[in-house]
Amino acid sequence: MTQSWTKALSSSPLATPAARHTLYDIPASNNGARCRIIVYKKGLPESEVKVLSPADLGGFKSDAYLAISPQGKVPALQCHDTNLCLAESDTCARYLLSTYSNAGPSFQADNPISNQIARFHDLYLSTIQMCLYKAGPPFGSFHTRKDALAEYSKQLHVIANLLPDHDAGYYLCGNDVSLADATLFPSIVFAAFMHPKFYLGPDFIPEKLSKWFQNLIEKDHAFCRVYDEMMTVLQKWDASGRWDTIWLAGMRDEEPGTLFDRILSGEIPASIVKEDDKVLAFRDINPAAPAHVLVIPKDRDGLTRLSKATREHSEILGHLMVVAAEVAKDESLGFGSGARIVINDGAAAGQEVFHLHVHVLGGRDFTWPPG
């Protein structure tokens, strides 16, 4: 691998630049922005660290850039004195802090609280942040945007709870800037701009972090510079309609409620046979077979009918089928050796309640084709 990297670098038109280091990044990268903050706060000139885009090497997937960043992501750091290539934001950031330890602020590289915040960010926020702007799932380990957004806010509150209750200083870890500030700030740029599009309310970002964020924008030139760089791109995304077709932002469930909402609220009683946090199964009040159970998602989430399904609904659709299969095997409900599992899609197909539901029918033989 070392030989292939060296070969790619030696053939690159940027292989022997004037700068000691080249930081490859793009303005919208919140992970790369922590490195830019370090460069700006330390006042490093272009002769030490020059910031370029992967496009200058032919793009993210070009051989030249993949030789520097094997995953084809930003940031990446090319060290021209040694031909060392580093990828990933924390690695690049810590290299810059170590190499330029005598320039500008230290960023409290050995502060355990700062390091813990940075680590929590990289493990629990950065891995799911795409729920704020990606077209569809998965969002890290989450398959629904709603769950990922809830987890993102939860982790912001976890980080806020690591901070002292009193006003301990200008930055997250006191009066001096830390790696925690450089790591978390760019992600809050994303969250502050994007979370209102999902109607998530002011508590999505904890008040303590909101105040810290606003202070840095107003009073710290380096952080304000990164904020402006990122916002220029985010505003272009917004103007292009990026969120217009994203579920829970530009697209929401605005259809009227149904009978099933009244069952779910307990207003109308139902003969419930199975329930978990995602679905409810109950006997049909007008059974078409000796055993007839309906399985519905508790959160309709736009699924008025099956043809409204998108990739956002993959998890709940699979769960509905699993629960339907469990119901169909329950002999105590009147099911035997087989069952018919049906989803009617639209009025022409016999759908009467526009809240997706799965019919599980059994206790008798069925013919084909259905009527």
With vertex at residue 252, the alpha carbon angle to CA 301 and CA 278, rounded to the nearest 5 degrees, is 15
Q: Residue 125 has what DSSP assignment?
A: I
Q: Are the CB atoms for 9 and 15 separated by under 8 Å?
A: yes
Identified catalytic residue from 121, 195, 313, 357: 357
Cα separation, 30 vs 36, whole angstroms:
10
Token pair listed for 152 = 């993102």
Scanning the chain, the segments in alpha helix (DSSP H) are 2-11, 30-41, 63-68, 89-99, 112-120, 145-161, 179-194, 207-219, 221-239, 259-265, 314-328
Instruction: Tell me the CA end-to-end span of the chain in Å, nearest whole number.
Output: 64
Token pair listed for 304 = 């008025």
Q: Cβ atoms within 10 A of the Cβ of 323, count?
A: 23
Cα separation, 107 vs 32, whole angstroms:
16
**Mapping DSSP to helix (H, G, I), strand (E, B) and coil, where does residue 364 land?**
coil
Cα separation, 203 vs 195, whole angstroms:
10
Q: Residue 123 has what DSSP assignment?
A: I
Q: Tell me if residue 357 is catalytic.
A: yes
Q: Are the CB atoms for 306 and 313 separated by under 8 Å?
A: no
Question: Which of these, 288, 268, 289, 290, lies nearest to 280 by C-alpha position?
Answer: 268
Q: Are the CB atoms for 37 and 46 separated by under 8 Å?
A: no
Question: Which of these, 222, 193, 192, 224, lies nearest to 210 by C-alpha position?
Answer: 192
Cα separation, 166 vs 243, whole angstroms:
38
Active site residues: 357
